[in-house]
Structure 1
Amino acid sequence: MKQLLYIAPVIIDFEKLNGVSKKILNQYKVFSKSYNVTLLSYGPDCLYYLNNDFFETIPLNQANRRLKMYSFINEKLSVNNYNFIYSRYHLCDLLFVNTLRILGRKAIKMVVEIPTYPYKKELLKSHNGFVRYFMDSSSNFLLRFFVGRIVTYSQDDKIYGIKAINTMNGIIYENVIPVQKKQFSSKEIHLISVSMTVICHGYDRLIEGINSYYKLGGDVNIIYHLVGEGEEIKKYKDLVLKYGIEKHVLFYGFKTSDDLDVLYEKADIAINSLAIHRIGLQTESTIKSKEYAAKGLPMVSSYTVDAFSSQDNSKYVYQISADETPVNINELIEFYKKMYENADHNITEEIRLASEKRCDMSVTLNGIIEYFNTAV
């Protein structure tokens, strides 16, 4: 079986797996059906080195996590023969380029995945980000000498002069239990979002919309289950307290497994990102939208959801404007009615089946595997 080295500079906490960590482990699992895969990633305070049943933790010994990874690759892994290298992008610098150069001596093909592109606007929001962007932009032109393809969730044909493989984030559908068929209620609607919160998620737009709805005399009980932690949570909690809508917005922190499934069972509609325009994006391929679709939930989003075809987007997604206006709860209620009122079919099953054929991970990784398997 051919050898694949997967370099994933992402912290994987097995006690508290988030969406990105699950994605890395799922990619490892799917790639392992075709190749003998070695995965190198970060632990909370170490490096993780996985290959089949072999699992090793490599202590950092007070070293910088990223420098430790480069050092381990250059000193320990560069002596091995790999047919293919797959690396998740964590910005470029000369150390990264040199690591690819060293590995390139032993590998036939090398692919780099850029999870979010473009990323300039998001990086330049901080001084540290400016420094990182300068280092990246000063060296990423060198990638073309070692990298055969860039994997992107954007529509770009080339990035840094390298041909792109266009795909989307995927999940393993058999790992996700769909919710039970929903019953229509004219009095109560349950919403859910599940993610580590960052500015582009824009859940404040929904909170503002809920506040406006009740200020104008709204009488449907809207309950928003906000699951997750992250940098935006304090802002969201402050807004909820300011508006006095604590009974309509419930915070749960991080949840997983059975606890999360219980919350999903309550939900009628899922909330995708509502503000990617804040970081200069017009499209995005979120992991959470795939999980929502696999659960069988319709969505609210500020952009077209790639889990669905354009035709299915018009059926299963309430797409709001890509700006700062609050979510219109009256329109959301009408969307809910369209989904569930007088439905003589199972919307949950429809949504899951419509999305599975597009974004099960066996489908989303197919273009990468085809590239690896094509003769040089």
Structure 2
Amino acid sequence: MKSVLFLSFSGYYEHNGISKKKLAQIKGLEECGCDVTNCYYMVDSDTGHRLWMADGSIVIDLGTGLGGKVRKRIDYNPILTYIKRERISFVYMRSEHNASPFLISFVRRLRNNGVKIVMEIPTYPYDQEYDTFKGKCLLFADKICRKSLAKQLNAIVTFSNEPAIFGQRTIRISNGIDFDSIRLKQQANGKSNEMHLIAVAEIHYWHGWDRIVVGLADYYKSYKHNACKVCLHIVGEFSGERERNEIMPLIVENQLNNYVTLHGKLFGKELDEIFDRADVGVGSLARHRSNITRIKTLKNREYAARGIPFIYSEIDDDFEEMPYIMKIPADESPVDIHQVINFYNRITMNKEEIRNSVRHLSWKNQMKKVLDSIDIAVYENKNSLR
């Protein structure tokens, strides 16, 4: 059994999507037979101390204030010492666009000690996500150092189709699914004179949900009494004023308050109940705004795991040929609600068949691709998730 360190530069928060993904990846590695240590940085909410943690135990207390912030970015010696002491043979590191001379030195020293290391870049390309002055300043150091950092790695893990990133070979995987944590919707996908659309995410401009709100406005301008009633449920908070100002005025000006519901954040039973009512999921409709053509989003996979057909505009190679998806043009045109209704009425797959179609996208299978690519032999866990 191989010892693996899963290294991330941020902590874990209840109901946070990224936190859930990281925990699911760790579970996937364990299902492949790895002994995984979860190493992460966090700020103690009570004391303000900045800590590097390993499976809930303190590796190093970096202190408080500016000194702690600086040490986080320059002092990786405690983690290196921990890796040596625990005889870790493989490090899976999650990038936060934080390449620096200090991180380069850390990775080089790991390699010199015989440790294999890969770095996951969750979204690529990512420069366009930094559109404020502060954001561009934060990105500056990363842009200077990232090619040198990449050179020290064994590989870069990507959810894109890029064969190489920053001059380093890639391991191309899909965002995975933790089927234990995603419940199949309870109500059957039925046809009626009422349709419920669900859009779940922290709302960013690249989601393009203003396009579907405008589409609803157009639909209701010519609405007939016996036509299908279409309702949109948006679950999640606006990431900023830009996103709020793109959507809220459209709802008010077009008198869509009875057809668009902003639920805010929902979790657990409340979220399950909304999914039970949902007929069609709404994925990203404007990744072109951030110059991304291909991406494998977690949300598309959650919709499929829930047994719900869905719409999106990017290229997602895991779903392009599936009969339960509808592609929306990657432009600024409103979503044609009549076409969405027709798409839904043509679907013949039931919720169980939709869920079963993505069984191969389990996190176990995705993490096995990583292990196989860097020739890490592990003992198969026969009791792992199928």
Normalization by structure 2: what TM-score? 0.86
Q: What is the aligned counterpart of 2:78 among 51, 75, 79?
A: 75
Query: Match for residue 13 of structure 1?
Result: 13
In the alignment, structure 1 residue 254 sits paired with structure 2 residue 265? yes
Q: What is the aligned counterpart of 2:353 among 350, 353, 359?
A: 350
In the alignment, structure 1 residue 24 sits paired with structure 2 residue 30? no
Question: Residue 9 of structure 1 aligns to which amino acid in structure 2?
Answer: F
Query: How far apart are the structure 2 equivalents of 1:205 and 1:214?
Result: 14
Query: Match for residue 383 of structure 2?
Result: none
Contact 1:211 1:245 in 2 (8 A): yes
Change (3 A) 1:8 1:79: closer
Query: Match for residue 382 of structure 2?
Result: none
1:34-77 Cα distance to aligned partner (Å, 9 max, x none): 222222224464546243xx544957522477645445632354
Query: How far apart are the structure 2 equivalents of 1:98 and 1:214?
Result: 60
Question: Residue 13 of structure 2 aligns to which amino acid in structure 1?
Answer: D
- Report the CA distance between 1:259 and its aligned residue: 1.1
Question: Residue 75 of structure 1 aligns to which amino acid in structure 2?
Answer: P
Question: Residue 256 of structure 2 aligns to which amino acid in structure 1?
Answer: I
Query: How far apart are the structure 1 equivalents of 2:30 and 2:52?
Result: 17
Query: Match for residue 121 of structure 1?
Result: 128
Structure 1 residues 147-162: aligned runs within 5 Å: 147-162=153-168
In the alignment, structure 1 residue 241 sits paired with structure 2 residue 241? no
75-84 vs 169-178, which deviates more?
Answer: 75-84
> Helix, strand or coil for the counterpart of 1:365?
helix
Query: Match for residue 117 of structure 2?
Result: 110
In the alignment, structure 1 residue 304 sits paired with structure 2 residue 306? no
Query: How far apart are the structure 1 equivalents of 2:79 and 2:140?
Result: 30
> Helix, strand or coil for the counterpart of 2:223?
coil
Query: Match for residue 49 of structure 1?
Result: 53
Question: Residue 368 of structure 1 aligns to which amino acid in structure 2?
Answer: V
Q: What is the aligned counterpart of 2:184 among 143, 167, 178?
A: 178
Query: How far apart are the structure 1 equivalents of 2:145 and 2:189?
Result: 55
- Report the CA distance between 1:222 and its aligned residue: 0.9
Question: Residue 207 of structure 1 aligns to which amino acid in structure 2?
Answer: V
Query: How far apart are the structure 2 equivalents of 1:267 and 1:288?
Result: 14
Structure 1 residues 165-244: aligned runs within 5 Å: 165-217=171-223, 219-229=227-237, 230-231=239-240, 232-233=243-244, 235-244=246-255
In the alignment, structure 1 residue 366 sits paired with structure 2 residue 377? no
Query: How far apart are the structure 1 equivalents of 2:74 and 2:137?
Result: 23
Query: Match for residue 318 of structure 1?
Result: 326
Query: Match for residue 86 of structure 1?
Result: 92
Query: How far apart are the structure 1 equivalents of 2:336 and 2:63?
Result: 49
Query: Match for residue 380 of structure 2?
Result: none
Query: How far apart are the structure 2 equivalents of 1:66 and 1:59?
Result: 8
Query: How far apart are the structure 2 equivalents of 1:76 and 1:262?
Result: 43
Query: How far apart are the structure 2 equivalents of 1:48 and 1:205?
Result: 42
Q: In percent, how many aligned pairs have the same letter?
A: 29
Gaps of 5+ in 1: none
In the alignment, structure 1 residue 334 sits paired with structure 2 residue 342? yes
Change (3 A) 1:183 1:111: closer
Question: Residue 159 of structure 1 aligns to which amino acid in structure 2?
Answer: I
Change (3 A) 1:371 1:108: farther
- Report the CA distance between 1:159 and its aligned residue: 1.0
Question: Residue 80 of structure 1 aligns to which amino acid in structure 2?
Answer: I
1:173-227 Cα distance to aligned partner (Å, 9 max, x none): 1322111352534421001011111111111111110011111225321111100
Query: How far apart are the structure 1 equivalents of 2:201 and 2:63?
Result: 28
Query: How far apart are the structure 1 equivalents of 2:135 and 2:210?
Result: 24
Contact 1:12 1:42 in 2 (8 A): no
Contact 1:8 1:88 in 2 (8 A): yes
Contact 1:80 1:106 in 2 (8 A): no
Query: How far apart are the structure 1 equivalents of 2:345 and 2:122?
Result: 35
233-242 vs 319-328, which deviates more?
Answer: 233-242
Query: How far apart are the structure 1 equivalents of 2:271 and 2:68?
Result: 31
In the alignment, structure 1 residue 40 sits paired with structure 2 residue 50? no
Normalization by structure 1: what TM-score? 0.88
Change (3 A) 1:107 1:128: farther
Gaps of 5+ in 2: 378-386
> Helix, strand or coil for the counterpart of 1:25?
helix
Contact 1:301 1:320 in 2 (8 A): yes
Change (3 A) 1:94 1:177: same
Work out which structure has the larger RCO, using CA pairs closer than 8 Å and 6 or more positions apart in sequence: 2
